[in-house]
């Protein structure tokens, strides 16, 4: 058993004298570091006095049925550095301190810093070095994991939160990561749904970690957002995954589907020899920049005529044309935001930037936790709605008159 150092709060005169001797910002920081432990100690002693109902050395304590019972040592990691304190105890073991809760050794402010740095993709070693250099705090990898695990209830709450009844536009895409499972390292997909809500703001509806990307899993995620309140989607923008359109229509049969033109162009160009790649890219651009679908088909015929040796690679354009050409039905303001999935690809690039320091995740929860923290960080910057959203809403209402009330009254 240890004995208390009997930290005493500074008197007004002592405090003033110390303040008068401060000359620099470093002096002020050192003063605050010296102050934090005594202040915490005094607060703990006051808490125990309140719990017992009598002051230290008060004779009433002998008849109270519960007495002070020494102290246990603990070093708190605070914003001002490590603070060694002694936690007072009572004989009955009923004292539960609020200032420094049991089993807690990290101040909430420090936890917030750890979580913020982790969300930026910093490694546990980087976090430890930073906190040690700035605050003199040693934070191990296991402690970083313990601290960041505290967001898991928030992840579950976020993943099951109610959603809006209508999302005019949804972007669906997946990002692949290496995850350890059953002693093996396998590739898993983080299924991400990014929506544009009725206010014109971006919103991540959810992140799901599953096996390799497939239409069946997408159907499961879409069914989940429907259970969370989504009644309608006007336009769903996807990449070229096989079976994607069937999966969407199975859950949202009235949704219009636009397959990403940029994905289609990339998939075509990867087979074209370098000497003709630039010319082919120019020919394909004429297709999706054409003013009408008819003009787009004429541009496609020109591309086939100009490059007959690559007809096999252009065949998929004909097969997928109903999904590729949807954007031609709409005015330019809507076309710009649906002909490509660049919006969600930009989000995915930010996810990859955050996760690049972790080549292999120990389990699904670790990946989900980091993606959630990164998503929360990214979403803070989404403060402005899509440019010219008022005009876009009016145009969407004209094309989907039966959904106009949901669009305008949201």
DSSP string, 177-243: EEEEETTEEEEEEEEEEEEE-TTS-EEEEEEEEESS--HHHHHHHHHHHHHTT--EEEEEEE-S-TT
- Tokens encoding 364: 């699904």
- Model pLDDT for residues 104-154, shown as the tens digit of each residue: 666 556 667 677 777 777 777 777 776 676 556 676 777 777 777 878 888
Instruction: Calculate the average pLDDT of the chain.
Output: 84
pTM of the entire structure? 0.73
Residue 358: per-residue pLDDT: 85
Residue 24: per-residue pLDDT: 65
- Model pLDDT for residues 151-199, shown as the tens digit of each residue: 888 899 999 999 999 999 999 999 999 999 988 999 999 999 999 999 9
Residue bearing tokens 């206010």: 199
Residue from 219, 217, 143, 180 nearest 367 by CA: 180
Give CA separation, 79 vs 83, 114, 137, in Å. 10, 11, 9
**215 phi/psi in degrees, rounded to 5:** -65, -35
| Interstrand relation of 256-259 and 232-238 (parallel, antiparallel or unpaired) | parallel
Residue 232: per-residue pLDDT: 93
What is the mean predicted confidence (pLDDT) over 345-371? 90
Least trusted range by pLDDT, from 98-102, 201-205, 372-376: 98-102
Length of the chain, in residues: 410
Can you tell me the distance from the alpha carbon of 75 to that of 10, in angstroms, rounded to the nearest whole number? 21
User: What residue segments make up the domains of the chain, in order of their start?
Assistant: 1-105, 107-160, 167-409
Q: Say yes or no to pLDDT of 200 above 90.
A: yes
Residue 177: per-residue pLDDT: 93
- Please, is 254 exposed, middle or buried when counting C-beta atoms within 10 Å of its C-beta (0-12, 13-18, 19+)? exposed
**277 phi/psi in degrees, rounded to 5:** -60, -45
């Amino acid at each position: 058993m240890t004995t208390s150092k009997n930290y005493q709060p500074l008197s007004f005169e002592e405090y003033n004298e110390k303040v008068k001797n401060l000359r620099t910002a470093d002096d002020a920081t050192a003063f605050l570091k010296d102050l934090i432990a005594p202040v915490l100690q005094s607060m703990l002693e006051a808490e125990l006095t309140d719990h017992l109902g009598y002051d230290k050395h008060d004779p009433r304590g002998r008849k109270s049925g519960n007495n002070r019972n020494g102290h246990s040592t603990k070093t708190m990691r605070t914003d001002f550095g490590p603070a060694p304190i002694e936690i007072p105890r009572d004989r009955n073991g009923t004292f539960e301190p609020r200032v420094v809760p049991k089993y807690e050794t990290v101040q909430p402010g420090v936890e917030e810093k750890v979580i913020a740095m982790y969300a930026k993709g910093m490694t546990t070693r980087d976090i430890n070095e930073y906190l040690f250099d700035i605050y003199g705090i040693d934070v191990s990898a296991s402690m970083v994991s313990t601290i960041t695990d505290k967001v898991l209830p928030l992840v579950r709450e976020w993943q099951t939160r109610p959603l809006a009844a209508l999302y005019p536009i949804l972007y669906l895409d997946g990002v692949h990561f290496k995850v350890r499972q059953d002693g093996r390292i396998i590739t898993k997909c983080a299924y991400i749904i990014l929506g544009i809500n009725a206010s014109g703001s971006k919103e991540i509806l959810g992140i799901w970690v599953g096996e390799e990307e497939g239409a069946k899993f997408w159907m499961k995620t879409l069914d989940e957002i429907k259970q969370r309140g989504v009644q309608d989607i006007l336009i769903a923008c996807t990449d070229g995954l096989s079976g994607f359109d069937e999966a969407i229509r199975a859950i949202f049969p009235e949704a219009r589907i636009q397959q990403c033109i940029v994905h289609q162009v990339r998939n075509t160009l990867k087979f074209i020899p370098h000497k003709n790649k630039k010319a082919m890219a120019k020919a394909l651009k004429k297709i999706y920049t054409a003013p009408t679908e008819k003009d787009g088909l004429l541009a496609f015929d020109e591309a086939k005529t100009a490059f007959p040796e690559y007809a096999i690679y252009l065949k998929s354009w004909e097969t997928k044309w109903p999904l590729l050409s949807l954007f031609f039905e709409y005015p330019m303001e809507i076309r710009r935001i649906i002909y490509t999935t660049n919006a969600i690809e930009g989000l995915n690039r930010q996810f990859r930037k955050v996760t690049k320091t972790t080549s292999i995740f120990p389990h699904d929860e670790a990946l989900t936790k980091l993606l959630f923290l990164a998503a929360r960080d990214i979403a803070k910057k989404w403060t402005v709605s899509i440019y010219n959203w008022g005009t876009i809403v009016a145009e969407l209402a004209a094309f989907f008159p039966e959904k106009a009330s949901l669009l305008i009254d949201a």
